Structure 1
Amino acid sequence: MNWSDLKILLVFAREGTLQKAAQKLGMDISTVSRRIRNLENDLGSKVVENVGGRLVFTTYGEQAVQTAEAMAAESNHLQRLIKGEESLLSGVLRVALLDALVFFHQDLLQSFSVQYPHITLELVSGTSRVHSLTRREADVAIRVSKQPDDTLVGMRALHIEYAIYAHQSVAERPPTLWADLPWIGWDPALNARKIDAWMEKHVPLEQIRFRVDSAIAQFTLVEAGCGACILPVVYADLNDQLVRLSEILDGFDTNIWLLTHRDLKRNGRVQAFFEHFYKGLEPLRNNGRKHLES
């Protein structure tokens, strides 16, 4: 049986005449009549009959209309469920990111929570360890990387460049050499090769007053006037108390990526998070373009 013929029978029942049914369906009367006859042939029984020049439903036809009504109700119910899923996203979304990204983008995390109050964000930010999306240690990763793993999918959300910064209190005494400044470096265990190599070349060991293993600790110490440091420009420039002491450092640039596993790329929670975060980073992307143009 052709189910579309049953739908035509339902429209005929609701409209009352072939002419009105044809207008509703955007068909001509002969096509509606032919489709009803096709349905009768498939069912092997009459569903309408002519009584006094007027088409009326047979007993079997009334049963067919009831079946069509039930099918239409189930179809509408299913569509409402699907639309409800789309408009009311819920559940848990586990996001792996650096603690500094939580600090600098707490506004985006909060606004996401307001927009999607039924989604619980589980933030994995207490360690610098790279969490595996393949092993489902997280659903989404906001990762700082030149180029992510080919097995992951997502988008480049922000380009990052680096320069040397210090608090105003330190910058008031401009150095003739980098060695004249106190410095904040990275814990050697983190293997920050480029920064370590630059500091080894320009900064005596005795001038490195602090070593840290998190970006938040680094920013906190720089803001407190504890020393100079190599920082991401897009974030350091947000602080009016910090002064840039160098040009952009060549070869230090990297990217922030929004990433997920291929199996989750169509997940509603993932797509909503990507869209929200990418849009929220637009002001920083624009600032970066302005800097490149200047």
Structure 2
Amino acid sequence: MPDVFSADDLRLVRAISTAGTLTGAARALKVDHSTAFRRLCAIEARLDAKLFERARQGYTPTQAGEMAIAAGTRILAELVDLERRLAGEDLRPSGIVRLTTTDTLIDVIAPVLAALRTEHPGIIVELIAANTFFTLTRREADIALRPAIAAPEGLAGRRLATVSTAPYASAAYLARCGKKPLRDYDWLGFEDSLGHLRSARWVSANVPDERIVLRANSLLALRSAAAAGLGVAALPCYLADPAAELRRVTTPLPDMEGSLWLLTHPDLRKVARIRTVLDFMADALLRQRGLIEGKRSRPRRG
């Protein structure tokens, strides 16, 4: 009997189960609907078994489908684990390293990556700027640089610095409004997608709703709005201190602070190119600890 399943077939079956629709599965796998449909029909023809019941509401696994989904999930996890372990045998400090970080840290790490390129030209960094946490265990990225309270379970992490956050506003706004209690300023708030941030929780707990004059789902947008004079924004010091238009309204607030973590999967730490990037980034970012911890600031009024 010829092989019934390829890894791509297993990924298709799993994607249909996860999405509940063929359209959703095709979108997740970045193929068109007709391709996904033909592949599913071919799999079922080879098996002589139906894997999903089709209905207007979506695709429901049959008993055979449930068996295929369970086995496929296990096999795909084993393939990822094998890939990770084999990657650990690669001792060459060259090749591609996938690095993910938040958009707010791009200005901080760009000079680091330039220096890395000079010292290790054989390493090519694929930089993924995303505020969602890529899953390192699935090899969506090799290294993550993230502000967080703690390192996620199952990852090897190095804490580089405290991430200090303070209220910022433009010099013109502060001159116009004068000194007053924090809650009495116009505030730039956080859209719900940023509600997990400690700074967002602080604003929610300490600033009346009627003082919020704008909300955004991006810290870069909040920085721009504050620089334009709309009001006060809670921003990481590494993001706001380099902005010439901004001034701290107060010193950094302990209730807003977090930590900066450099993370990878334990199986990848011995890969030469990944170990090289981890060590290089850690050394370079530790030299910028003053900026990250808010110890390089200008006076409140300029």
TM bucket (normalised to shorter chain) is: 0.5 to 0.7
Is structure 2 residue 116 aligned with structure 1 residue 103?
no
Deviation at 1:290, TM superposition (A): 9.1
Of residues 242, 246, 255, the one that matches 1:242 is 246
Deviation at 1:153, TM superposition (A): 0.9
List gaps (5 residues or longer) in structure 2.
Answer: 1-89, 297-302
**Residue type of the partner of 1:225?**
G
**Hey, what does 1:80 align to over in structure 2?**
none
Partner of 2:144: helix, strand, or coil?
strand
* 2:164–2:294 CA contact under 8 A, matched in 1: no
**Hey, what does 1:137 align to over in structure 2?**
140
Deviation at 1:181, TM superposition (A): 2.4
**Hey, what does 2:237 align to over in structure 1?**
233
Is structure 2 residue 153 aligned with structure 1 residue 150?
yes
Partner of 1:117: helix, strand, or coil?
coil
TM-score by length of 2: 0.61
**Hey, what does 2:222 align to over in structure 1?**
218
Q: In the aligned structure 2, how far is the partner of 1:117 from the partner of 1:184? A: 43
* 1:167–1:223 CA contact under 8 A, matched in 2: yes
* 2:165–2:294 CA contact under 8 A, matched in 1: no
* 2:144–2:263 CA contact under 8 A, matched in 1: yes
**Hey, what does 1:274 align to over in structure 2?**
278
**Residue type of the partner of 2:108?**
F
Equivalent residues, number: 206
Post-superposition Cα deviations, 1:27-83, rounded to whole Å, max 9, x if no partner, equal xxxxxxxxxxxxxxxxxxxxxxxxxxxxxxxxxxxxxxxxxxxxxxxxxxxxxxxxx
Is structure 2 residue 120 aligned with structure 1 residue 122?
no
* 1:158–1:284 CA contact under 8 A, matched in 2: no
**Hey, what does 2:189 align to over in structure 1?**
185
Q: In the aligned structure 1, how far is the partner of 2:136 from the partner of 2:294? A: 34
Partner of 2:140: helix, strand, or coil?
coil
Q: In the aligned structure 2, how far is the partner of 1:235 from the partner of 1:129? A: 18
Identity of aligned residues (%): 28
Q: In the aligned structure 1, how far is the partner of 2:183 from the partner of 2:283? A: 41
Q: In the aligned structure 2, how far is the partner of 1:232 from the partner of 1:102? A: 13
Are the structure 2 counterparts of residues 153 and 200 from structure 1 closer, same or farther at C-alpha, using a change threshold of 3 Å? closer
**Residue type of the partner of 1:142?**
L
Are the structure 2 counterparts of residues 193 and 217 from structure 1 closer, same or farther at C-alpha, using a change threshold of 3 Å? closer
Partner of 2:256: helix, strand, or coil?
coil
Q: Which runs of structure 2 are paired with 1:9-88 in the superposition (5 Å)?
A: none
**Residue type of the partner of 1:189?**
S
Is structure 2 residue 156 aligned with structure 1 residue 162?
no
Are the structure 2 counterparts of residues 248 and 152 from structure 1 closer, same or farther at C-alpha, using a change threshold of 3 Å? same
Deviation at 1:148, TM superposition (A): 0.5
Post-superposition Cα deviations, 1:201-240, rounded to whole Å, max 9, x if no partner, equal 4333243222222222222222222221111224433334
List gaps (5 residues or longer) in structure 1.
Answer: 1-84
Q: In the aligned structure 2, how far is the partner of 1:242 from the partner of 1:164? A: 10
**Residue type of the partner of 2:160?**
A
Q: Aligned Cα RMSD in Å?
A: 2.5
Are the structure 2 counterparts of residues 248 and 289 from structure 1 closer, same or farther at C-alpha, using a change threshold of 3 Å? closer
| Larger deviation, residues 103-112 vs 255-264 | 103-112
